[in-house]
Structure 1
Amino acid sequence: MSGSSFEDKSVIVTGGGSGIGRASALRFAAEGARVLVADLDADTAEAAADEVRAAGGTAETVVGDLSRQEVVDRVAATAADRFGGIDVLVNNAGIMDDLSAAAEVSDAVWERLIRVNLTAPFLLTRAVLPHMLERGAGSIVFTASEASLRGSAAGAAYTAAKHGVVGLVKSTAVMYRDRGIRVNAVAPGGTATGISVNPSPGAHGPAVMGTYAANIGRVAEASELAAAIVFLASDAASNVNGVVLPVDNGWAAV
């Protein structure tokens, strides 16, 4: 790990207990970073942190709903206190919808998807920016989605939330690019994670989306997304800012 660009850097990974988040946490740790795993599930968060420690790395955990301000504050404070600052934030935590079209989406589903997938990463970004600005450097990487690029990859709520993520990425990149902060996103296509989709039988949204299912192509491993996330956060991407990078085996090119 010696000589890595992440040696002794402080990295927060949300949704770090499973899927893309876990793979990213492990990869950052392998590159020398001290990693805070933030997740809703205590068991998966601790398991990921234990794996980091078993490999000789340093890890902390914060468990809670990241759409709540008090949990976000605890994440930022823990990373800053335990690691001496915050160098990287990976806004990865998110939930999938049931592929419902706009006429089928309930208020509860809409509000929860927007809160978890858009408001929570905004709250985290707002919380870590003062720490990064104090240092004059920092990198934030969001997990957007193929649904942030097109209308045929998810339901209305998820698609709207992930399009909002792209807007947040670009706005924040522009606002802070002269202060040493870079903000980018990956847009995963089909990826082997634990997120499940349970569409309602006979619903309009899933029926329409089935028309486009053949465009997905090969399903990625979480480690492939982690590699892209770590690249965007690294000095190798020092002049990459405001970018949404599809990691989708060419789905975005179809």
Structure 2
Amino acid sequence: CITRVVEELGRLDGVVHAAAHWQDFRAMSDVLSSDWANTLAANITAPWALTRAALPHLQAVEDGCAVFVDCECAHTPAVFHGAFGVSKAALRAMVAGWALENPGIRLHTFDPGPMRTTMRLLGYPGHPAESYPLPEIPAEALSALLAPDAAHRAQIASQVHWASDPPPSSAP
């Protein structure tokens, strides 16, 4: 996947890890072993493997960047978030480790907040869809983290950005 991108485009400037998986929200003692394994595989192992493959290419460009979509449950444990919450906390720790080991690459965790997606509506069926913003709103904030001018900003390593936060200052 990474090799094909580089072959077709000539380089890789950034990666966004936005995929997420959860079966349902339930007590950790009720999570099936297979659901636990599948959630950790999708939410922590897959981003690790993709980052590992992308790393040499991100190091080869002036402003390599990886953004990992985060969730509030990564730093504020919530009831019934089980494997999903654990995987997001592990993701945050992994990003911090990648950042320490690779100071020349910008690595971010980004929490888009609740948004009007199928995943959110399935997880929180009692909340009206209209109460959530459309994904285009946090996508603009995410794009600011990937923008080419980000090379001129102070490095932001393993820092959480909420979709409602303004983009990092462009001052040197």
Contact 1:97/1:197 (CA < 8 Å) preserved in 2?
no
CA offset digits 1:188-228 (Å, max 9, x no partner): 322111225369xxxxxxxxxx9xx8xxxx52321122112
Q: Is structure 2 residue 110 aligned with structure 1 residue 186?
A: yes
User: Is the contact made by 2:58 and 2:105 (CA closer than 8 Å) also made in structure 1?
Assistant: yes
Compared CA separation, residues 151 and 242, structure 1 to 2 (3 A): same
- Please provide the CA RMSD for this pair: 2.5
Partner of 1:149: 75
Instruction: Please list the CA deviations of residues 130-173 of structure 1 after superposition, one character each: whole Å capped at 9, or x if unmatched.
Output: 11223353000011112212112762100000011111111111
Residue 132 of structure 1 aligns with which residue? Answer: 58
The residue that corresponds to 1:224 in the other structure is 137
Structure with bigger RCO (C-alpha 8 Å, 6+ apart): 2
Q: Which has the higher strand share?
A: 1
The percent identity for this pair of structures is 26
Q: Where in structure 1 do 4 or more consecutive aligned residues deviate above 4 Å?
A: none
* Pairing of 1:167-182 with structure 2 (within 5 A): 167-177=93-103, 180-182=104-106
Matched, 1:233 2:146: yes
Calculate the TM-score normalised by the size of structure 1: 0.57
Measure, in 2, the Cα distance between the counterparts of 1:241 and 1:227. 20
TM-score, normalising length from structure 2?
Answer: 0.82
Contact 1:146-1:153 at 8 Å conserved across structures: no
- Contact map agreement 2:111 2:160 (CA 8 A) in 1: yes
Check whether the contact 2:109–2:161 (CA below 8 A) recurs between aligned residues: yes
How many residues align structurally?
A: 158
Residue pairs, 1:20-99, within 5 angstroms: 75-99=1-25
CA deviation vs aligned residue, 1:207-251 (integer Å, no higher than 9, x gap): xxx9xx8xxxx52321122112111122247322221113379xx
Instruction: Give the Cα–Cα distance (whole angstroms) in 2 for the partners of residues 190 and 153 of structure 1.
Output: 17
Distance 1:248 1:102, change over 3 A: farther
* 3-state secondary structure, aligned to 1:191: coil
Cα distance between partner residues in 2 of 1:79 and 1:109: 31
Please report how far the alpha carbon of residue 78 of structure 1 lies from its aligned counterpart in structure 2 after TM superposition: 1.2
Query: What amino acid sits opposite 1:228 in the alignment?
Result: A
